[in-house]
Amino acid sequence: MRGNLFAVAVDLVILTVRAGALSALLVKRGVPPFEGALALPGGFVLPNEDLIDTATRELVEETGLTVAGHHLEQLASYAAPDRDPRGRVLSVGHLALVPDLPEPQAGSDAAASAWHPVADTAGLAFDHDRILAEGVERARAKIEYTTLAAAFCPPEFTVSQLRGVYEAVWGAELDPRNFQRKVTGTPGFLVPTERLVTGGRGRPAQLFRRGPATALHPPMLRADA
């Protein structure tokens, strides 16, 4: 990585909701630079790989997890001259929104991997604080105008579970009745199943699955938007 040559890498912002908190998948680096520091999963693109191939490979190698079948999109490119002490590295950030996945297993050059509440993730290696912050803001904005909040849910879920996603991602409480009217009144957002959640207090809750709609009209804006 000398002269004007760039190495190309991929960094992954993988977000989920665990225990009511928006959480990110992080690895503890097992090699220099920043050995021992927390970082986003990712790594260098190999000569025979597309970006998505690298993202898939590095995620499996470092965490044992996969986001296949879940929402994955490119976030942005990062190429500040001093972002990596090893030389010029252009990293293409990717954002994944996933339901609660199993616990990760460290491997490759990661000494450990785990889910961390986004609120407790300051001090990441490289420029990963910035990449994570931009991924979180992208997620917060997208669930205002799209149905992607359901990407955080299991295949079948209750309206209360979906409301919990919005509250975790936005960091704000929502009025249950207004929320129920909004999501059930938006054509194609939720499709009711024939199943109910039983065993709790009160009336059994209806289970839904994600419908075919991709956009919200009108949007569900944050209180401070």
How many independent structural domains does the chain possess? 2
pLDDT value for 204: 85
What pLDDT is stored for residue 1 in this prediction?
43
Q: Tell me, letter by letter, the H, E, C secondary structure of the chain.
A: CCCCCCEEEEEEEEEEEECCEEEEEEEEECCCCCCCCEECCEEECCCCCCHHHHHHHHHHHHHCCCCCCCEEEEEEEECCCCCCCCCCEEEEEEEEECCCCCCCCCCCCEEEEEEEEHHHCCCCCCCHHHHHHHHHHHHHHHHHHECHHHHHCCCCECHHHHHHHHHHHHCCCCCHHHHHHHHHHCCCCEEEEEEEECCCCCCCEEEEEECCCCECCCCCCCCCC
Has residue 220 been placed in a domain? no
**Are 127 and 181 within one domain?**
no
Instruction: Give the CATH number for residue 158.
Output: 1.10.10.10
Do 125 and 172 fall into the same domain?
A: no
pLDDT mean across residues, the chain: 93
Condensed to tens digits (0 to 9), the pLDDT of residues 109-155 reads 788 999 999 999 999 999 999 999 999 999 999 999 999 999 999 99
pTM for this model (two decimals): 0.93
Domain boundary, last residue among 143, 158, 180: 143
**Are 105 and 170 in a shared domain?**
no
Residue 52 within a domain: yes
Q: Are residues 117 and 192 in the same domain?
A: no
Structural domain range at position 80:
7-143
Answer yes or no: are the C-beta atoms of 113 and 30 closer than 8 Å: no
- Residues 12, 123 within the same domain: yes
Q: Check which CATH number belongs to the domain holding 45 and give it.
A: 3.90.79.10
In a domain, 222, yes or no: no
The CA–CA distances, whole Å, from 50 to 29, 149, 203 equal 24, 28, 50
β-bridge pairing 205-210 and 190-197:
antiparallel
Lowest mean pLDDT across 41-55, 100-114, 123-137, 156-170: 100-114
Q: Which of 106, 128, 143 is the last residue of a domain?
A: 143
Q: Which of 128, 143, 158 is the last residue of a domain?
A: 143
Pair 58, 118 in one domain: yes
Q: Is residue 224 part of a domain?
A: no
Distance, in Å, from the CA atom of 12 to the CA atom of 74, rounded to the nearest integer, reads 9
pLDDT at residue 171 above 90? yes
For helices 176-185 and 159-170, what crossing angle results, to 10°? 110
Q: How confident is the model at residue 5 (pLDDT cuts 50, 70, 90)?
A: confident
Residues 106 and 201 in one domain: no
Residues 139 and 173 in one domain: no
